[in-house]
């Protein structure tokens, strides 16, 4: 059995002095393999990860929670960033890379005229909503999807504590969010045209902004997209498309480009800079100019590293046709899941776009089996769960080795299911969590 003692000990120390253990819910050990997950890394390169116990794993899971689309420690991006650091990452003057990156983003998105920057997706979405509200002069935001942790979004749970369950994770408490924000953010479901139109009818004189992810687990239907674009134009509602997850994974730019879906603002982060903090808000001039009528400003939004990393990453996307590789790689993995599930007579449900796939066990104990497959794959040298985020560094050899290991894991899982054994007895720790829960 793989020893992850140092990682587990460090995680237990962290939970005593860092609320929640980590700054990111998606990196909590309890979301993967409680009491066993390695939790911390010494080094990450390509798709290889070395933990505190000097174990070497192949990452066939989240790849930095979707941020390292080219792979860990990409040589070309790192070279550009090291040059930026050596020449000064911060200065009284501005970094010219800001202008170069803005020109590149506008070239890739001909509908857009202006660009602003931040460093994380959540804050970039808050900037976009602030600009959109400033332009529209109206406060109500209709939204679909996950858009971060800020007050404007989490306030949806003030009206109904389950408002965000289908968009993010169950159990998110809006405590600390001002009560007077109640009723200003209202959710609708992806591809639910009727639900969207119902909210418009109920709030039509007060809706100033519509926010949605360009694509979630499934492609949007034509009626849904056309209705949102038509209604927002007719009612002078600002349409904000969140490309933080999907952007640059299906094409060179936002996924809305291939969906023929023109927004007023689009927001990018996560995958545009291969693990270095960077976010961009792009939009039409008459909308973006509204940012000068409100106060949006921060020192570290002007550092040199972020734009430099984004330029190197996006140019590599273009030069190497990275999106095609991501789609091909992800499809091979998802096809592998289906074949192995069929071979072992295991009922799973597969969802997601090719570069971002997920599967769920369809039985009475899905979390137990998710935990078990994570444990079995860790013992075989893989960071793996029920999701796969493709990167440019994933090659056929990694996919082949991963599916061979998963074949053996599914063989045991199938035996447990069909023998009606208790899967809990095969776990070396606790069952993983599916939502937000306080850690002690």
Span 386-401, average pLDDT = 98
The model's confidence at residue 165, banded by pLDDT at 50, 70 and 90, is low
Q: For the ranges 13-17, 62-66, 341-345, 419-423, which has the lowest average pLDDT?
A: 419-423
Query: For residue 394, what are its two tokens?
Result: 């994933």
pLDDT the model gives residue 169: 64
The dihedral through the CA atoms of 214, 216, 222, 226 has a sign that is negative
pLDDT the model gives residue 439: 55
Q: For the ranges 115-124, 175-184, 302-311, which has the lowest average pLDDT?
A: 175-184
Task: Tell whether the model's pLDDT for residue 23 goes beyond 60.
Answer: yes
Average pLDDT along the chain: 95
Name, in order, each residue with C-beta under 8 angstroms of 22's C-beta and a sequence gap of 6 or more: 14, 28
- The order of strands in the sheet holding 48-51 is 41-45, 48-51, 56-59, 382-383
* CB-based contact 346:414 (threshold 8 Å): yes
Task: Tell whether the model's pLDDT for residue 7 goes beyond 70.
Answer: yes
In total, the chain counts a number of residues equal to 440
The model's confidence at residue 345, banded by pLDDT at 50, 70 and 90, is very high
* CB-based contact 210:238 (threshold 8 Å): yes
Name, in order, each residue with C-beta under 8 angstroms of 222's C-beta and a sequence gap of 6 or more: none
CA distance 425 to 375: 13
5-73+322-426 and 90-303, same CATH topology: no
CA distance 334 to 68: 20
Query: For residue 216, what are its two tokens?
Result: 């979630």
Task: Tell whether the model's pLDDT for residue 166 goes beyond 70.
Answer: no
Burial class (CB in 10 A: 0-12, 13-18, 19+), 19: exposed
Burial class (CB in 10 A: 0-12, 13-18, 19+), 47: buried
The dihedral through the CA atoms of 21, 25, 26, 30 has a sign that is positive
The model's confidence at residue 242, banded by pLDDT at 50, 70 and 90, is very high
Percent of the chain with pLDDT over 70: 96
Task: Tell whether the model's pLDDT for residue 204 goes beyond 80.
Answer: yes
pLDDT the model gives residue 173: 78
Name, in order, each residue with C-beta under 8 angstroms of 170's C-beta and a sequence gap of 6 or more: 162, 434, 435, 436
pLDDT the model gives residue 440: 47
Q: For the ranges 14-18, 163-167, 244-248, which has the lowest average pLDDT?
A: 163-167
- Domain-wise residue ranges, the chain: 5-73+322-426, 90-303
Query: For residue 101, what are its two tokens?
Result: 């990156």
Q: Is 234 helix (H, G, I), strand (E, B) or coil?
A: helix
Name, in order, each residue with C-beta under 8 angstroms of 177's C-beta and a sequence gap of 6 or more: 151, 154, 155, 157, 158
Correct CATH for 5-73+322-426 of 3.40.30.10, 3.80.10.10, 3.40.50.2300, 3.90.1150.10: 3.90.1150.10
For residue range 286-306, what is the model confidence (pLDDT) as tens digits? 999 999 999 999 999 999 999
- Residue matched to tokens 């040059």: 83
CATH class, range 90-303: alpha beta
CA distance 229 to 222: 11
CA distance 295 to 391: 37
CA distance 226 to 354: 24
Q: For the ranges 8-12, 41-45, 96-100, 166-170, which has the lowest average pLDDT?
A: 166-170
* Helix runs in 237-394, H state only: 285-288, 305-320, 322-343, 366-379
The model's confidence at residue 438, banded by pLDDT at 50, 70 and 90, is low
CA distance 257 to 267: 13
Return the number of other C-beta atoms located less than 10 Å from residue 91's C-beta.
11
For residue range 101-148, what is the model confidence (pLDDT) as tens digits? 999 999 999 999 999 999 999 999 999 999 999 999 999 999 999 999
Calculate the alpha carbon distances from 400 to 103, 242, 282, 328, 414 in Å. Answer: 40, 33, 39, 14, 21
Task: Tell whether the model's pLDDT for residue 319 goes beyond 50.
Answer: yes
For residue range 261-288, what is the model confidence (pLDDT) as tens digits? 999 999 999 989 999 999 999 999 999 9
Residue 240 β-bridge partners: 211, 265
Query: For residue 170, what are its two tokens?
Result: 């169950």
Task: Tell whether the model's pLDDT for residue 344 goes beyond 50.
Answer: yes
- Residue matched to tokens 């497959």: 373
């Amino acid at each position: 059995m793989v020893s992850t003692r140092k990682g587990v000990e460090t995680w237990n120390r962290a939970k005593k002095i860092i609320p929640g253990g980590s700054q990111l819910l998606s990196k909590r050990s309890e979301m993967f393999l409680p009491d066993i997950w390695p939790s911390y890394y010494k080094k990450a390169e390509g798709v290889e990860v070395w933990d505190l116990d000097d174990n070497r794993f192949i990452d066939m899971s989240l790849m930095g929670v979707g941020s390292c689309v080219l792979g860990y420690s990409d040589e070309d991006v790192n070279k550009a960033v090291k040059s930026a650091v050596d020449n000064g990452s911060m200065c009284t003057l501005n970094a010219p890379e800001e202008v170069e990156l803005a020109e590149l983003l506008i070239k890739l998105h001909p509908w857009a005229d202006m660009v602003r920057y931040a460093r994380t997706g959540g804050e970039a979405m808050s900037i976009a909503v602030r600009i959109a509200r400033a332009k529209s002069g109206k406060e109500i935001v209709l939204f679909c999807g996950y858009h971060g942790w800020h007050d404007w979004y989490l306030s949806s749970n003030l009206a109904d504590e389950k408002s965000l369950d289908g968009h993010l994770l169950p159990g998110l408490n809006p405590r600390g969010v001002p009560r007077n924000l109640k009723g200003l953010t209202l959710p609708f479901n992806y591809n639910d045209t009727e639900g969207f139109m119902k909210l418009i009818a109920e709030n039509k004189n007060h809706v100033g902004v519509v926010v949605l992810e360009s694509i979630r687990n499934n492609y949007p239907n034509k009626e849904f997209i056309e209705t949102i674009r038509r209604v927002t134009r007719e009612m002078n509602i600002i349409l904000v498309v969140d490309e933080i997850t999907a952007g640059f994974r299906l094409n060179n730019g936002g996924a809305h480009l291939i969906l023929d879906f023109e927004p007023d603002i689009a927001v990018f982060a996560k995958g545009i800079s291969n693990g270095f903090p960077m976010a961009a808000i792009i939009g039409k001039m008459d909308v973006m100019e509204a940012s000068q009528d409100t106060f949006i400003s921060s020192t570290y939004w002007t550092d040199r590293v972020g734009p430099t990393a984004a330029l190197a990453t996006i140019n590599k996307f273009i030069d190497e046709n990275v999106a095609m590789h991501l789609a091909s790689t992800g499809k091979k993995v998802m096809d592998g899941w289906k074949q192995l599930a069929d071979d072992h007579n295991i009922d799973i449900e597969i969802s997601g776009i090719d570069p971002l796939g997920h599967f769920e066990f369809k039985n009475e104990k899905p979390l137990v089996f998710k935990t078990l497959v994570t444990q079995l794959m860790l013992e075989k040298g893989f960071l793996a769960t029920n999701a796969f985020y493709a990167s440019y560094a994933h090659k056929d050899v990694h996919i082949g080795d991963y599916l061979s290991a998963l074949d053996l894991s599914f063989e045991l899982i199938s035996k447990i299911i069909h023998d009606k054994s208790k899967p809990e007895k095969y776990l070396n720790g606790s069952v993983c969590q599916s939502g937000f829960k306080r850690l002690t």
